[in-house]
Amino acid sequence: MLGRHHLLLSIFTVAILFVPYFQENTELTLVILIGIAIGSLIPDADSPDAAIFHEKVYVKGNLGKIINGLFAPLFPLFGYTTKYAIYKPSVFIFAKTFLKKYNISERHRGFLHSFIGIGTATIFTAIYLSIILLAIDLFDIWLFLSFIVAYSFGALMHLIEDSSTVTGTQFNYPFSNLILKGELVTRPDSAQKPDIFTGFLGFLVIALFFAIELGYTPYSDWLITAVSVLFLLLSWAIFLSLIAKVKLERGELKSYPNVKRLL
């Protein structure tokens, strides 16, 4: 998928769940959304010109201004750290040791687009970030853990979103050749279906926010959250199964090695 789809689909999905708690827990909610935003783009650090390397993302309107002002300035920091201090060293070390027999290499939708890649990136990001926060005396254990969990979930959402495309995702790379893939082709000129689903989730965030603010939902926060979880699961199931037509296959993931520029 395109960077903006990864970013917005992941943010909107989680934002729906945290709308009831935004006013009372503004700081925590923002930390979680920042973690989701960064994590949603991190797997593409294996690609030369991914959105995670840029201080601005292509999102129109006021939403784009908010994202580019709040989230995007952090993207290059996490992007380049992941690429050169986590991804490349991990692939090199694993290829020479534990995963030697699997012949892993640097390529798009390879190591970083798998459970082992997300796990490795999350662990080392947590280590690096904790060292920096402790050094500048800004370490808060609950905010830190919330960010790391959100970061990990955002990266997992990235893999789920990529599984809707014709290339698909090899979640258990390099241990299994099972690929979850759909029928979407998400070039800038053919991204109508992801755009519609993104708009749908964005509308839900706005509608729920105003419904709560204007007092149209006389229900407890936990009940709203529970219903939201069920509705999101149903919405994603419909998108993946009926719209993207995702299916499980065996075979070799059709990807490409890292090059200086993706055409």
State the residue range of the domain holding 70.
3-250
258, pLDDT greater than 60: no
Q: What is the predicted pLDDT for the residue at 217?
A: 76
Residues 142 and 59: their CA atoms lie apart, in Å, by 31
Q: Considering the domain boundaries, does residue 63 fall inside one?
A: yes
20: Cα within 13 Å, side-chain hemisphere: 15
DSSP codes joined into one string, 180-192: EE-SB---TTS-H
Q: Considering the domain boundaries, does residue 33 fall inside one?
A: yes
Q: Considering the domain boundaries, does residue 255 fall inside one?
A: no
Does the CA dihedral 233-153-16-213 come out positive or negative?
Answer: positive
pLDDT digit string (tens) for 201-232?
999 999 998 888 777 777 788 899 999 999 99
Q: What is the predicted pLDDT for the residue at 253?
A: 76
Place of tokens 């690096």: 128
Q: Considering the domain boundaries, does residue 156 fall inside one?
A: yes
Q: What is the predicted pLDDT for the residue at 189?
A: 63
254, pLDDT greater than 80: no
Amino acid at 65: K
Question: Is residue 15 a contact partner of residue 37, using CB atoms and an 8 Å limit?
Answer: no
Q: What is the predicted pLDDT for the residue at 71?
A: 86
Residues 178 and 168: their CA atoms lie apart, in Å, by 10
63, pLDDT greater than 90: no
Query: Residue 71 burial by CB count (10 A; 0-12/13-18/19+): exposed, middle or buried?
Result: buried
167, pLDDT greater than 60: yes
Question: Is residue 206 a contact partner of residue 194, using CB atoms and an 8 Å limit?
Answer: no
Q: Considering the domain boundaries, does residue 180 fall inside one?
A: yes
Lowest mean pLDDT among 29-38, 104-113, 209-218, 220-229: 209-218
Number of domains in the chain: 1
Q: Considering the domain boundaries, does residue 262 fall inside one?
A: no
Give the chain's mean pLDDT: 90
Please name the residues in contact with 82: beta carbons below 8 A apart, sequence gap of 6 or more: 42, 45, 52, 112, 121, 125
Q: What is the mean pLDDT of residues 112-125?
A: 97
Residues 210 and 28: their CA atoms lie apart, in Å, by 20
